[in-house]
Structure 1
């Protein structure tokens, strides 16, 4: 303490470490206030429990203590199943290319220079809240646009391709990557068993275990919506598209050595880096691009254009700039504004529609149902999730924690004779024919679709040194895997490219020699965070 009783602060310029100091110095004047209960009743003693005598017992009449403890044991909400650990910020999106208004009629793309407020949540894909930000894993990049036509959610990853093409396999994939149900530990056998049995994962794996597998924080990370959407303009002309975020800070990745060090010294490195950059007014920026495929091109394209395990080649479908995203405001409270921030790919606005992408369609229900389970039936009423325009929904009522007017005295059924002006939004064009059961889709069957060509092209795009590190990264996990599963996985990599499988085999044999000629203990569990 200093002589005048003020707190003595260490000379640290880190904004995150100095949050409390900054709160004190940046607040205007602390008004004189008295502590109350949640019902605003005055509290006289806020440090001692009320007892019947000096040594107890505790009085059941100490409602302040009972209230505090009752809230304390309920202050956590269920975690997300995936993308549990995350951070976020707020900012704005500005349209930089008027061309987008001719492709998509969405109001947020209306004119060049139009500004839309946004919220963004970044996350680690498959590990728990206490994990490191520097693990080898997919990252989430979710953006909520607060538009004049309602909230539009654009969900993405730091990879342009996904593990799967069918949503029915998603729970199975997640179970294979997460903890063993008996040991409670991460088990390389389960993940590689699943990977080696589902060759459509190869393209994503080839990227995930390459030098691109561990982003250097979130500011230096690109984002990809992976799914295919349908854009509609004011004339009713439809095209298919993919969204891409490209970081203006330059894409950067961590080496395995750097990731290991950060996992031990600053496990919240990515969140820490984002918070400090914004606090120092070094605002991170991303540029939004789209790729466009006409319906005629989709009918004859070489592979299923709605398969998220594959990329659209940029040489055939070049990137078109749309706008710029700037994050310039940290949250005031992480739980209120980030943990309760609820995204869903079904939150679309006029001009952006679903495509026959099965993964996209499979996500439309799961996300909103997750939020109902985690944060309540009326999660849409939480301030960070509320649209900037008032919603009108005459039949969804009641439910726990309904803090709205609950539509007051209005009828709770539709149609009715007492609100003649309540009606659906007018359709400005003839709805396009949906392509779910047309030859575009029927040409491609998941079981015999090509799972190797794009993984081969990705592998061949790497330099010799990059391939060696890819071989090493995969072999270091297969070392902990049963021989049967490791051999199957290596054969799958050989189907991508002979050198790919041979390189992993050679690395694996070298590692086994270092362990007295044997694999590690069969079934041994090891957290990928050890990277």
Structure 2
């Protein structure tokens, strides 16, 4: 029996809190979904002044160099020819911890790159995992609330974490990665990075190709033993920040090879659930990695606050030749990231030196806090009869057709196949560590109901996976009920 109905801040009842309103089942999110906009906008304003997520991180300057010709897929100028170099700034971070938290906790790592191109800044804002816990932005504020501190005790809450995950089975793929050896990278230099979402590349002829980004570390993947990670959290909580800084100072410059999966545009009609559901990956056997270039980090920041803290990256920072997809979580991020920057850094965050593009900026934005360059002209509107600053028809986005009835749709309910495949791919020793990490994390959960629900998800992904978790928690009898 429902005791109270979920409402908006104004008291209006909420119809669906699991799925955003979209134009058709696989179409983009509609701005008329005021519940989603209210939820994301309020979420962006819940913490002052550090980032709500990715609060603690490290950054460095570097260069990206094209090593393979991909101009037949995209007209993006910084990818136009082999040998072309573009300056970049990279930021790596933990996700859930506060600004003073330890670097070596079990947590995904943010992996964000700002490219200073001649057509404006282009940002790839992803993680060190190719998937995420949720696939609809409507659920993101709730998810992060479970990762933060309990509003009553101000302590981290295993109950909240596992209650949410057990009620959101789409999280299982990412949970499996998080609880595996990959959950604690040895350093920021020894982890891969991903754009996570699917994006759209468009060439000069207007031909479209879906693309997924993979940054492959050239240092090799290395992870930390859980006991060593716990020790470092107490003895050197800034271990990852220190490692990146010292490596660059010693001229041991870390680098990553950017590869992409190129997926024919028509595949979106055949398998939209794979392309636009960020909880799933696209097979590299079917769509193998194609090398694009190399990113090398070769200069440390001169001032942590002005560079690492104030850098403002967003998947909405795009350049001609690169467009978005109808991935719902990506669509929500297009709004939420810019809104967070305007709240946290200010309306003029793009004029802060670390965010300032190398290309000319011509717009009619004026005034506001911390305005660096207000311009001398009296013209702050368009169209006008006094200057030649006009829109450019040549950079019209290619776009894509959408259709369907407006409604709140969920992606498919196949939560288990890829998580099970991932479990079975690991060695016996890696499986044992994964299970032990899960057991250790779930042991403090106070309600057996939550544990049982999560064990069910593990069991559906792989019977051995679920059985071993149940045994580790002393709940093997629940397996009989599945």
Q: What TM-score do the two structures reach when normalised by structure 2?
A: 0.86
Cα gap change, 1:303 to 1:510, in 2 (>3 Å):
closer
Partner residue, 2:394: 427
Please tell me whether residue 252 in structure 1 is matched to residue 217 in structure 2. Answer: no
Please tell me whether residue 96 in structure 1 is matched to residue 96 in structure 2. Answer: no
Give CA deviations for 1:171-227 in whole Å, capped at 9, x if unaligned: 000001111010000010001000000000000001110111110110001001101
How many residue pairs were aligned?
429
Give the deviation of 1:101 after TM superposition: 1.3
Partner residue, 1:124: 94
Unpaired runs of 5+ in structure 2? 1-46, 477-482
User: Counterparts of 1:106-185 in structure 2 under 5 Å?
Assistant: 106-185=76-155
Please tell me whether residue 453 in structure 1 is matched to residue 423 in structure 2. Answer: no
Partner residue, 2:32: none
Partner residue, 2:378: 410
Max Rg structure: 1
Give CA deviations for 1:338-392 in whole Å, capped at 9, x if unaligned: 1011111100000000111111110011111111111111111111110011201
Does the residue aligned with 2:275 lie in a helix, a strand or coil?
coil
Partner Cα distance (1:233, 1:288) in 2? 19
Give the deviation of 1:428 after TM superposition: 5.9
Partner residue, 2:173: 203
Partner residue, 1:294: 264
User: Counterparts of 1:242-321 in structure 2 under 5 Å?
Assistant: 242-301=212-271, 303-321=273-291
Give the deviation of 1:305 after TM superposition: 1.2
Unpaired runs of 5+ in structure 1? 1-75, 512-531
Give the deviation of 1:84 after TM superposition: 0.2
Greater length-normalized contact order (CA 8 Å, ≥ 6 residues apart): 2
Give the deviation of 1:445 after TM superposition: 5.0
Does structure 2 retain, via aligned residues, the 8 Å contact 1:133–1:217?
Answer: no
Give CA deviations for 1:64-105 in whole Å, capped at 9, x if unaligned: xxxxxxxxxxxx97100000001100010000001x111111
User: Counterparts of 1:33-44 in structure 2 under 5 Å?
Assistant: none
Please tell me whether residue 504 in structure 1 is matched to residue 469 in structure 2. Answer: yes
Cα gap change, 1:205 to 1:219, in 2 (>3 Å):
same
Q: What TM-score do the two structures reach when normalised by structure 1?
A: 0.78
Does structure 2 retain, via aligned residues, the 8 Å contact 1:77–1:375?
Answer: no
Range moving further from structure 2, 102-111 or 502-511: 502-511
Partner residue, 1:50: none
Partner Cα distance (1:316, 1:279) in 2? 41
Partner residue, 2:440: 476
Among residues 348, 356, 372, which one is paired with 1:386 in the alignment?
Answer: 356
Alignment RMSD (CA, Å): 2.0
